Amino acid sequence: MSDIRDLIDPVGGYVSGKIFVDEDIYAQELEQIWQRTWVFLAHDSMLDKRGSYIQTYIGQDPVIVVRQKDGSIKAFLNQCRHRGMRICRADRGVAKGFMCSFHGWAYDLGGELVNIPHEDTAYPAGIDKSKLSAIQVPRLENYNGFIFGSWDETIPPLEEYLGNAKYYLDGYIDRYDGGMEAIAVHKWVLPANWKFNVEQPTSDMQHSEISHVSAVEALASGSDTFNRKTGRTKIPTGRQFFSPYGHGGAFFGKRGKEIPNTAPALIEWENTIRESIESRLGEYREVRGHMNVFPNFMLLGNYTFRVTHPRGPNEMEIWSWAFVPKDAPDEVKESIRVDVMRTFSPAGMFEQDDAENWEEMQRILQGAKARTTGFTYNMRGVAPATDEDGYPGSSTAHVYSDNAALNMYGFYRDLMEGHSWEELKKMRGGVAEVEDADFQAVMPDDATEFRNVPAAVDVDTAAALAQRS
């Protein structure tokens, strides 16, 4: 097992480039991360009939998720117990059972082995089919229509695993009486490590004003908060949050004045059902910016929902869905679909910017010197607080912060070291590790300068950095 302890320091703000390229570390991730966490598998709307199935992945293990005859859900490894071929080759569909295309072993909707060709003559001593069923995913839970699975039978229940992230997650998926549905999906492969993708919705709001400067300029037209020549002239309001088990996210705005990153048609329709939304969530729940449920379930404010499947240390496969409120008018659903396609599809104006960054970072890490270089995560001008201003859990009253990323890598490190879930619950409870960092600057109400700046940084420098960030 690789020694991860020296490669990640959430308190000091350091992450080694080695964790993004090392083959041994990647193999360890498949065992310690992907076999031990809750992973999003499917949504109820993808399995709308008995016999409906979708093929997906937990890490690099292919999994079939199937609606059973009684309406329940089962998931099992898409691998024949005979020679290891897939027992289902299609991405999704409706079936009465599955048959391996190599030697014809057949399985029912629950993964039970039901038929072996030439069983009576080829196996004269007999064969116990009951012991050769497809390997079941032992833990499945449905959270507001979103189905998660885990190989680890000792993992805490899903709601406990989500913890305080539920408050923020519900702002996306539990807004509407009729629930959500997926209406479109894109899939593509990028030559970059999976963690680059998941770090961004967990923490990184600041890249948008640089990587997406053209789009930001267009969106901020007429605003006094952004200028192409000088960048942001005011510190943007907002908040970043993070949960013990690596979940995190951020959103612009502040209580009562949140800025949902959604299609205009959706906002207009939501205004007509505001009373219904507030009866479900309460007032001022416009916390949609972006977030990630560790390890790889990402949600963006325009209802781009996605997962990133690892494909080795130097490659990832992204699956991205457009989700819509099921009860919304057709024109609202279509506006969301078009907005997702224009922004975060493979050809989306934002997605192309992000892909270029991740791919170039991965290319650079192929160098012997580059992969030993540590990355700096010291954007922590405002200290994290707990249950502050009505926002549950640990959060930072500044939308530009590295705390959530460091918290994610801290949980990643603890998992990678092989700690049991009983140990993890004790280790990740209490005060967040990143709160031990010596960053005591706080943002004043007028957001023009910093007070209580660490001794190494004078007030003028801190104010200048705040304006630049």
Q: CB within 8 A of 452, min separation 6: which ones?
A: 440, 441, 442
Q: CB within 8 A of 105, min separation 6: which ones?
A: 80, 81, 82, 87, 99, 113, 115, 116, 117
Distance CA 61, CA 149 (A): 12
Share of the chain above pLDDT 70, in %: 86
Predicted confidence (pLDDT) per residue in 63-91, tens digit? 999 999 999 999 999 999 999 999 999 99
Range in 61-65, 96-100, 400-404 with the lowest mean pLDDT: 400-404
β-pairing, 297-300 with 304-310?
antiparallel
Cis peptide before 444 (omega within 30 of 0): no
pLDDT for res 440 = 46
Mean local confidence (pLDDT), 285-311: 92
pLDDT for res 286 = 73
Q: Is the pLDDT of residue 427 over 60?
A: yes
What's the pLDDT band for 458 if we cut at 50, 70, 90? very low
The dihedral region occupied by 163, where left means phi > 0, alpha psi between -120 and 50, and beta the remainder, is: left
pLDDT for res 463 = 34
pLDDT for res 217 = 67
Q: Is the pLDDT of residue 466 over 50?
A: no
Residue 134 DSSP label:
P
Q: Which domains does the chain have, with CATH numbers?
A: 9-22+156-437 (3.90.380.10), 39-144 (2.102.10.10)
Range in 166-170, 216-220, 387-391 with the lowest mean pLDDT: 216-220
Do residues 261 and 301 lie in contact, with contact meaning Cβ atoms separated by under 8 Å? yes
What's the pLDDT band for 443 if we cut at 50, 70, 90? very low
Predicted confidence (pLDDT) per residue in 98-157, tens digit? 999 999 999 999 999 999 999 999 998 889 999 999 999 999 999 999 999 999 999 999
Share of the chain above pLDDT 90, in %: 65
Range in 122-126, 166-170, 321-325 with the lowest mean pLDDT: 122-126
Q: CB within 8 A of 128, min separation 6: which ones?
A: none
For the ranges 32-41, 297-306, 336-345, the one whose mean pLDDT is highest: 32-41
pLDDT for res 35 = 98
pLDDT for res 451 = 26
pLDDT for res 10 = 92
| Phi and psi angles of residue 95, each rounded to the nearest 5 degrees, phi first | -140, 160
Do residues 20 and 365 lie in contact, with contact meaning Cβ atoms separated by under 8 Å? yes
